[in-house]
């Protein structure tokens, strides 16, 4: 779970950066749900690793990356008039 969440986080950051390019802002409508799925997977992986007393670095990184992609992607949609 933690590896999948990290991969989703990296891909969602790349998607967010693609959404910052003019005329590609609508891409965030696809990227934000993708990042939400990654956030859920990362949280599940974090809880699983925490209960087994294992390192939680990858899961934490996935949580942070997905949260950043959701936050800045949402701001980009609001500023670009994508959210009415």
How is residue 58 annotated by DSSP? H
Asked if residue 20 belongs to a domain, the reply is: yes
Check residue 21 and give its pLDDT.
87
Asked if residue 84 belongs to a domain, the reply is: no
Q: Would you say the pTM of this structure is higher than 0.75?
A: yes
Inter-axis angle of helices 57-79 and 2-19, to 10 degrees? 20
Asked if residue 65 belongs to a domain, the reply is: yes
- What's the structural domain count of the chain? 1
Q: Give the integer Cα–Cα distance in Å for 60 and 76.
A: 24
Asked if residue 29 belongs to a domain, the reply is: yes
pLDDT digits (tens, 9 = 90+) for 14-56: 999 998 888 888 888 999 999 999 999 999 999 999 999 988 8
Asked if residue 74 belongs to a domain, the reply is: yes
The domain in which residue 67 lies consists of 2-79
């Amino acid at each position: 779970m933690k590896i999948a969440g990290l991969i989703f986080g990296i891909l969602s950051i790349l998607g967010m950066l693609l959404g910052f390019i003019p005329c590609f802002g609508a891409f965030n409508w696809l990227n934000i749900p993708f990042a939400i799925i990654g956030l859920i997977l990362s949280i599940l992986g974090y809880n699983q690793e925490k209960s087994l007393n294992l390192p939680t670095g990858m899961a934490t990184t996935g949580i942070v990356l997905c949260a950043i992609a959701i936050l800045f992607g949402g701001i980009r949609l609001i500023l670009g008039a994508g959210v009415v």
